[in-house]
Amino acid sequence: MQMRAALVREYGKPLSSELVPVPKMGDNDVLLKVRACGICHSDVHIWRGREAAGSHLPLIMGHECAGVIELVGANVKNVKPYDRVVVDYRLTCGQCFYCNSGRTNLCIHTKDFGFNVNGGYAEYSVLAARQVFPLPAEIGFEEGAIIGCAVVTAYHATKVSEIKLGNSVAVIGIGGVGYHILKLCRAAGARRIIAVDVDDRKLLRAAKLGAETINPQNEPAEKLIKKTTNDEGVDIAFDGIGLRKTAEAAIKCLSPPGKAVLVGLCFDKVEFSPLEEMIWEPRLGNSGKETQIRASADHTRNDLQEVIELVRHKKIDLSDSITHRLSLDEANRGLEIVEKKIDDLVRVVMVLS
């Protein structure tokens, strides 16, 4: 039996659309008929060879994935054929210290579906049954797909931030993850949300959700954030982009006890002065500050289950989150849209029948 798939055969070259064998499954596996698969900016990094550790070529990318169970292995009890499911792309061992303590995002034996194991840019995928979670009928496959990365990554970041009712927040980068951080901060009761981006279309989207907006095209983001907060800074700043200047801006725009949460994948070295940016407060004489820098890495299994329930009960609205729907044959076009930020982009999803 064969299936259609889009393969990376050479980094940076167009994906190859081919007929390949449907992968074989074991007794603890499921065969998933893919119904929707998102195209994430991480996919661009993989395709370009920037995030290729442990990857093999040819590779079927795609980690934001939802579909229907086609077959189950002999030992599988948690799902059955025809069940609708979301994929947890973090393929964790379930046995190490971090898995047993609930911090599955730190699993020391993890692999990633669509990164170093073939993923969802295909009609079918095989993965361990423990890696799929029920998708309620109230949630469409397209929304289910982005829950598996864009939404749950944002959710984990807000948990890392320990956001509280009444906090002030800056979200730097209103892309697929940043836009959902913004939505989740609003749901958490942030009293003030400042959205930062150089794309006025993204800022318009953020403004419709009640955020104040800043375009740092002509002046550094941290200076603009300080200006608009009367030099106080914000309680929490999220870097949703992962550039040197956005990470530095998140650190430098904080209030004295603020927290910078680094979410976007940053491949650059970041420079800051611990004394000046984190400890010393020159405006207040000998008074100081005690800011923190925190990293947010992916998500946990519990996060994913919690987000599914939040969406199911309409605590998070994803109705405007998918801006582009393409076919599997348009995977290269999808990567181009994401890499070049074409159109008013939030999330691209490939829809399969």
270-307 confidence digits (pLDDT tens) = 888 777 777 777 666 556 788 999 999 999 999 999 99
Domain count for the chain: 2
- Domain coverage including residue 8: 2-135+323-351
pLDDT reported for residue 52:
59
- Residue 219 sits in a domain whose CATH number is 3.40.50.720
Instruction: Let me know if residue 316 belongs to a domain.
Output: no
pLDDT reported for residue 278:
75
Note whether 128 and 185 are same-domain residues: no
Confidence of residue 69 (pLDDT cuts 50, 70, 90): very high
Confidence of residue 266 (pLDDT cuts 50, 70, 90): confident
Instruction: Let me know if residue 313 belongs to a domain.
Output: no
pLDDT reported for residue 285:
59
pLDDT reported for residue 53:
56
Query: Of 254, 278, 295, which one is at a domain's C-terminal end?
Result: 295
pLDDT reported for residue 5:
98
Confidence of residue 29 (pLDDT cuts 50, 70, 90): very high
Confidence of residue 344 (pLDDT cuts 50, 70, 90): confident
Instruction: Let me know if residue 146 belongs to a domain.
Output: no
Instruction: Let me know if residue 147 belongs to a domain.
Output: no
Burial of 59 (C-beta count, 10 Å sphere; 0-12/13-18/19+): buried
Instruction: Let me know if residue 311 belongs to a domain.
Output: no
- Residue 130 sits in a domain whose CATH number is 3.90.180.10
Residue-averaged pLDDT of the chain: 93
pLDDT reported for residue 273:
77
Note whether 223 and 343 are same-domain residues: no
Note whether 192 and 117 are same-domain residues: no
Note whether 121 and 156 are same-domain residues: no
What does pTM read for this prediction? 0.93
Note whether 177 and 129 are same-domain residues: no
Q: Region 102-129: what's the mean pLDDT? A: 95
Note whether 168 and 275 are same-domain residues: yes
pLDDT reported for residue 287:
64
Q: Going by DSSP bridges, is the β-strand pair 168-172/192-196 parallel, antiparallel, or unpaired?
A: parallel
Instruction: Let me know if residue 236 belongs to a domain.
Output: yes
Residue 338: CB atoms within 10 Å: 23
Confidence of residue 265 (pLDDT cuts 50, 70, 90): confident
Confidence of residue 185 (pLDDT cuts 50, 70, 90): very high
Instruction: Let me know if residue 309 belongs to a domain.
Output: no
Note whether 156 and 285 are same-domain residues: yes
- Indicate if the pLDDT at residue 87 is higher than 60: yes
Query: Of 278, 295, 312, which one is at a domain's C-terminal end?
Result: 295
Instruction: Let me know if residue 31 belongs to a domain.
Output: yes
Note whether 249 and 211 are same-domain residues: yes
Confidence of residue 268 (pLDDT cuts 50, 70, 90): confident
Note whether 194 and 265 are same-domain residues: yes
Confidence of residue 353 (pLDDT cuts 50, 70, 90): confident
- Indicate if the pLDDT at residue 257 is higher than 80: yes
Note whether 114 and 34 are same-domain residues: yes
pLDDT reported for residue 54:
58
